[in-house]
Amino acid sequence: MSVPSISDLHGLIRDVPDFPKPGILFKDITPLLADARGLALAVELMTKPYRDMRIAAVASAESRGFIFGTSIARELSAGFIPIRKPGKLPAEVRQHEYVLEYGTDRLEIHADALQPGQRVLVADDLLATGGTVEACCKLVEDLGAVVVGVVVLIELESLGGRACLTEYPVHSVLQY
């Protein structure tokens, strides 16, 4: 049995045209998630650059970010901090509103989720325009923690998401 490669990971990403709306080419990660070797490689490649960085916690937004964030946190022996849509967290929250292509959205984090100075890695499945990941970084910083990096499985380079993340080192495994 051969060791899976980056090209194998590309082969596990399914293109779904016109989802969730006409003109969008959706990158579906469910075939990768269903493949044990592909999933293991994806998590390893997302984790590897941060192994020696003393990460205290990994923060991710729901829902696909949770899949990779918890796996990376486990690999780094770090905690996991969920960032959720409004009204989903039971205790006191901090929130950050951000601009989408057509309107705004908001994410929340528990007000006591992180301590000042904690080193945090922000993880997500996809970097597109960067709004969601940037909002996650701002929430982490609002609690006084330090974002030491951003890691994503897929980066859609043509959408320019890195441009709003220039304050942070960004690592992507797959680029389209």
CB-CB contact of 82 with 60 (8 Å):
yes
Q: Is 119 a catalytic residue?
A: no
Among candidate residues 40, 17, 43, 4, the one with its CA nearest the CA of residue 153 = 43
Q: Is 155 a catalytic residue?
A: no
Distance separating alpha carbons of residues 172 and 120, to the nearest angstrom: 17
Rounded to whole angstroms, what are the CA distances from 1 to 6, 11, 44, 146, 147? Answer: 16, 17, 18, 41, 38
Tokens (6 digits) for 94: 């901090």
Rounded to whole angstroms, what are the CA distances from 161 to 55, 116, 131? Answer: 23, 27, 7
Q: Which of 37, 64, 84, 119 is catalytic?
A: 64
User: What are residue 99's DSSP bridge partners?
Assistant: 104
Distance separating alpha carbons of residues 25 and 144, to the nearest angstrom: 37
What residues are annotated to the active site?
Answer: 64, 101
